[in-house]
């Protein structure tokens, strides 16, 4: 799994930051690494009405359309960890629905002959 990191002009994108972000992403998504070729991470330092750090993570899962999550927090570490947790949960729910499409409904279809 390849991790691509982009930063805005307010965040200094150096090797130490890239290594830390890559470690968090790889740890969070390690069990899905065979299904995820690449994760794009965008880091922003928000100014204005809602100051803070924002992390957007986007990936494609098994040939599907891309999925993305956003997490905003007071620190960059919290933003990255929050986004990684959200992406993990989204992938888990997506794979669960794909493997068990019948679980999208509350009950499985009834065998009406039993009740005739």
What torsion, rounded to 10 degrees, do the Cα atoms 71, 75, 81, 87 define?
10
Q: Is 17 left (phi over 0), alpha (psi -120 to 50) or beta?
A: alpha
pLDDT value at residue 113: 54
Q: Where are the domains of the chain?
A: 2-100
Q: Can you name the CATH fold of 2-100?
A: Double Stranded RNA Binding Domain (3.30.160)
pLDDT value at residue 116: 44
What pLDDT, in 10s, does the model give residues 13-60? 788 899 999 999 999 999 998 889 999 999 999 876 667 899 999 999
Contact status, residue 63 vs residue 31, Cβ threshold 8 Å: no
Q: Is the pTM of this model over 0.85?
A: no
What pLDDT, in 10s, does the model give residues 69-109? 999 999 999 999 999 999 999 999 888 765 554 544 444 45
């Amino acid at each position: 799994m390849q991790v691509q990191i982009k930063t805005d002009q307010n965040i200094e994108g150096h090797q130490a930051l890239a290594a830390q972000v890559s470690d968090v992403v790889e740890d969070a998504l390690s069990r899905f690494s065979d299904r995820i070729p690449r994760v794009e991470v965008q880091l922003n330092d928000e100014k204005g009405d809602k100051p803070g750090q924002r992390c957007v993570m986007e990936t494609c899962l098994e040939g599907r359309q891309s999925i993305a999550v956003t997490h905003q927090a007071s620190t960059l570490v919290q933003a990255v960890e929050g986004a990684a947790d959200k992406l993990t949960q989204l992938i888990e729910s997506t794979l669960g629905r794909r493997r068990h499409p019948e679980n999208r409904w509350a009950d499985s279809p009834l065998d009406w002959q039993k009740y005739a």
